[in-house]
Amino acid sequence: MLSWTSKICKENSREDALFCKGAMNLLFSLHVAHKSPVALLRDLSQDIHGHLGDIDEDVEVEKTNHYAVVNLRTAAPTVCLLVLSQAEKVLEEVDWLITKLKGQVSQETVSGETSSGWCARSREGSSVHQGPAWTTA
């Protein structure tokens, strides 16, 4: 289903904003379920940039055509808003992951400071290794 949707978006240049929005939403939904959307966001951003140009008029923009559904009529605001929305979701996930990892590092640091040596004993008397610091099971 992902490859079919991707093929539709890559090969069909339609100026219908509603079709574009529906196809792109389906592509994002399917893509995120199977792989990271970062490469997709990059390709779409390059297509948008190629159609709309650069804010600096002196910069020459290489026009790419990864997705034919991105054209002069659909690049702004339809595809641009969808790409920005998806990028915001990715950044929220990255922020959540960073917060979670900081919490784990803090717990490991506190656990490592309270235990003697590399091994902490659990209530049952066995030790468990989880990563660089030993923690209780």
More confident residue, 2 or 135: 2
Burial of 116 (0-12, 13-18, 19+ CB in 10 A): exposed
pLDDT for 115 equals 62
pLDDT, one tens digit per residue, over 101-131 is 999 998 888 887 766 555 444 444 444 434 3
pTM, two decimal places: 0.74
State how far the Cα of 24 lies from the Cα of 15, in Å rounded to an integer. Answer: 13
- 33-70 pLDDT per residue, tens: 999 999 999 999 999 999 999 999 999 999 999 999 99
Q: Which residue type occupies 30?
A: L
Average pLDDT, the chain: 85
**47 exposure class (CB count in 10 Å sphere: 0-12, 13-18, 19+):** buried
**pLDDT tens for residues 19-34?**
999 999 999 999 999 9
Task: Measure the CA–CA gap between 2 and 21, rounded to whole angstroms.
Answer: 16
Do you find a cis peptide bond into 132, omega within 30 degrees of 0?
no
CA distances from 47 to 58, 81, 86, 105, 106 (A): 19, 14, 16, 40, 42
Residue 114 confidence (pLDDT):
66
